[in-house]
A and B are shown apart, each in its own frame.
Chain A
Amino acid sequence: MPGGNVLLEARGIVKSFGGLAANDRIDLTVHAGEIHALLGENGAGKSTLVKILYGSLQPDAGSVSWEGRPAAVGNPAEARALGIGMVFQHFSLFEGLTVAENIALALPPDEAGSGLAANVRSVSESYGLPLDPAARVASLPVGVRQRIEIVRCLLQRPRLLIMDEPTSVLTPQEAERLFETLRRLAGEGCAVLYISHRLEEVRQLCHSATVLRHGRVVGRPDPKTASMADLARLMVGADVEGAGSREGEPAAAGPVRLAVRGLSLEADTPFGVSLEDISLEVRGGEIVGVAGVAGNGQDELFAALSGETPAFDDDAVEIDGRACGRMGPRWRRRLGAAFIPEERLGHAAVPAMRLSENAVLTRHGTDPELATGGLLHLSQARGLARRIVERFDVRAPEGDPEAGALSGGNLQKFVVGRELDRRPGVLAVSQPTWGVDIGAATEIRRELAALARDGAAVLAISQDLDEILEISDRIAVISRGRLSPAVPTGDTSREAIGLLMGGAGD
Chain B
Amino acid sequence: MTGFEAVVLTIVTAATPLLIAALGELVTERSGVLNLGVEGMMIVGAVTGFAGAQLTGSPYLGVIAAMAGGMALSSLFGFLVLRLAANQVASGLALTLLGLGLSGMIGEAFIGQPGLKLERIDIPFLTDLPVVGTILFGQDPLVYASVTLAVCVSRFLFRTRAGLALRAVGNNHASAHMLGVHVIRTRFLAVLFGGACSGLAGGYLSLAYTPQWVEGMTAGRGWIALALVVFASWMPLRAAVGAYLFGGALILQFHAQAEGIPLPSQFLSALPYIATVAALVILSRDRWTARNDSPSCLGQVFVPDR
Find chain A residues with CB under 8 A from B75 CB.
none
A271 smallest CB distance to B (angstroms): 9
- Decide if A434 is an interface residue (CB 8 Å cutoff): no
- Cα A450 to Cα B163 with chains together (Å): 56
Decide yes or no whether B171 CB sits under 8 A from chain A.
Answer: yes
Q: Interface SS of chain A: helix, strand, loop or mixed?
A: loop
B279-296 residues at the A interface, CB under 8 angstroms? 287-288, 291-296
Q: How distant is B168 from chain A, measured CB to nearest CB, in Å?
A: 5
Q: Which of B164, B178, B180 contacts A101 (CB 8 A)?
A: B164
Q: Is A354 part of the contact surface with B, judged by Cβ < 8 Å?
A: no
Q: A13 CB to closest chain B CB, in angstroms?
A: 15
* Contact status of A97 and B179, CB under 8 A, knowing A58-B306, A138-B292: no
Contact A270 B288 (CB under 8 A): yes
Q: Which of B36-87 contact A (CB under 8 A)?
A: none
Question: Interface size (B, Cβ < 8 Å)?
Answer: 25
- Check if B174 is an interface residue, CB within 8 A of chain A: yes
Contact residues in B for A106 (Cβ distance below 8 Å): 179
B171 touching A75 by the CB < 8 A rule?
Answer: no
- Bound CA span A433–B165, Å: 36
Given A57-B306, A101-B164, decide whether A94 and B177 contact each other with a Cβ distance below 8 A. no
Rounded to whole Å, the gap between the CB of B306 and the closest CB of chain A is: 6
B93 contacts A by Cβ under 8 Å: no
The answer to whether A94 touches B161, judged by C-beta atoms less than 8 angstroms apart, is: no
Q: Is B8 interfacial (CB 8 A cutoff)?
A: no
Output the residue of B174, B292, B295, B296 with the most chain A CB within 10 A: B292
Q: B292 to A76, Cβ gap below 8 A?
A: no
User: Contacts A94-B175, A101-B164, A105-B165: A136 and B180 contacting too (C-beta < 8 A)?
Assistant: no
Cβ–Cβ contact A93 & B306, under 8 A: no
Q: Is A88 an interface residue (CB 8 A)?
A: yes
**When the two chains form the complex, which single residue of A78, A92, A96 contacts B178, counting CB atoms closer than 8 Å?**
A92
B109 to chain A, nearest CB (A): 48
| B189 at interface by CB-CB < 8 Å | no
Chain B residue contacts of A270, Cβ below 8 A:
287-288, 291
Bound form: Cα–Cα A77–B165 in Å: 14
With both beta carbons as reference points, the residue of chain B lying nearest to A136 in the complex is identified as: B292
Smallest Cβ-Cβ distance to B182: which chain A residue: A75
Task: State whether the Cβ of A80 lies closer than 8 Å to any Cβ in chain B.
Answer: yes
Decide if B238 is an interface residue (CB 8 Å cutoff).
no
* Contact between A97 and B178, CB atoms less than 8 A apart: no
In the assembled complex, which residues on chain A have CB atoms less than 8 Å from the CB atom of B288?
270
**A92 with B161: CB separation less than 8 A:** no
- Give the distance in Å from the alpha carbon of A214 to the alpha carbon of B38 in the complex: 50
Contacts of A55 in B (CB 8 A): 180
Q: Which residues of chain B have C-beta atoms less than 8 A from A86's C-beta?
A: 178
- Residue in chain A with minimal CB distance to B177: A56
With an 8 A cutoff between CB atoms, is B275 at the interface? no
Distance in angstroms from A103 CB to nearest chain B CB is: 11
Q: Which of A115-165 contact B (CB under 8 A)?
A: 136, 138
Q: Confirm or deny: B187 has a beta carbon within 8 angstroms of a beta carbon on chain A.
A: no
Q: Does B268 contact A (CB under 8 A)?
A: no
Question: B167 in the interface, Cβ–Cβ < 8 Å?
Answer: yes
Report B's interface with A, CB cutoff 8 A: 161, 164-165, 167-168, 171-172, 174-181, 287-288, 291-296, 305-306
* A interface with B by C-beta (< 8 Å): 54-58, 75-78, 80, 86, 88, 91-97, 101, 104-106, 109, 112, 136, 138, 270
A-B contact pairs, 5 of them (CB 8 A): A88-B175, A92-B172, A96-B296, A104-B161, A105-B181
Given A54-B178, A94-B168: 7 more A-B contacts, CB < 8 Å:
A56-B177, A92-B174, A97-B168, A104-B161, A105-B164, A109-B161, A270-B288
